[in-house]
Amino acid sequence: MPRESKTDKKKRVAKIIRRLRKACPNATTELNWSNPLELLVATILSAQCTDARVNIVTEKLFRKYRTASDYAAAKQETLEKEIRTTGFFRNKAKSIRGAAAKIAADFGGEVPKTMEEMLSLPGVARKTASVVLGTAYGVNEGIAVDTHVMRVSGRLKLTRHKTNQSDRIEKDLMELVPRKDFSSFSHMIVLLGRYICTAGKPNCADCPVSDLCPSAFKV
């Protein structure tokens, strides 16, 4: 099979986006949130944890902590206990408290709206920043690359980089996906990976983009 040109790959990506948008027109995060701060906290908690588990934990958490100052003032040990079931709770509690303290001190209590400012928050990397910016503010500065996006983009041959190279995978995807679609593309690929293009046994027969996937029925 001849190597696909970048132009042809962009055309294939455009078709993939159209198909996925038709199949799942309202694709978004499955995390529960009602404001940017809640989404930031939930996204931090979602690392190495299911969205379903995070939603159980944040149901109580969001009732107790309403502002960035609330989280910043929380005792480390107390917050650790409250988020323990999400895993890696010590680092997550430290990240939440640190990010909240900087938001309260430097951004007037409001989650910032630029990638540079988001990355200045303790414990916030590009994936978390892209999720919050794109989902809460509609600001498309990056493509959130999680394990589903890594796996599916690899199977779709949109990147040749491995699953431990998220920055390089994001760079590849940003060269193919229109900026206006950065956030929605990530959400659609996450849902595709979560429910159809699973790690163990992808359901190619029910995949809306199987005819556009070089790996279809081969995994």
CB-based contacts of 17, cutoff 8 Å, min separation 6 = 177, 178, 181, 184, 185, 188
Which one from 92, 127, 172, 181 is the annotated catalytic residue?
127
pLDDT at 2: 67
The residue ranges of the chain whose pLDDT is under 50 are none
Other CB atoms within 10 Å distance of the CB of residue 15: 12
In angstroms, the CA 50 to CA 40 distance is 15
Domains along the chain with CATH numbers: 6-26+143-212 (1.10.1670.10), 36-136 (1.10.340.30)
Give the closest residue to 4 by CA, choosing from 150, 158, 211, 149: 158
pLDDT at 20: 98
pLDDT at 1: 53
pLDDT at 165: 86
Which one from 9, 51, 113, 146 is the annotated catalytic residue?
146
pTM: 0.95
Active site (annotated) includes residue 127 = yes
Distances (CA, A) of 159 to 113, 148, 173, 180, 190: 28, 14, 7, 20, 16
Active site (annotated) includes residue 218 = no
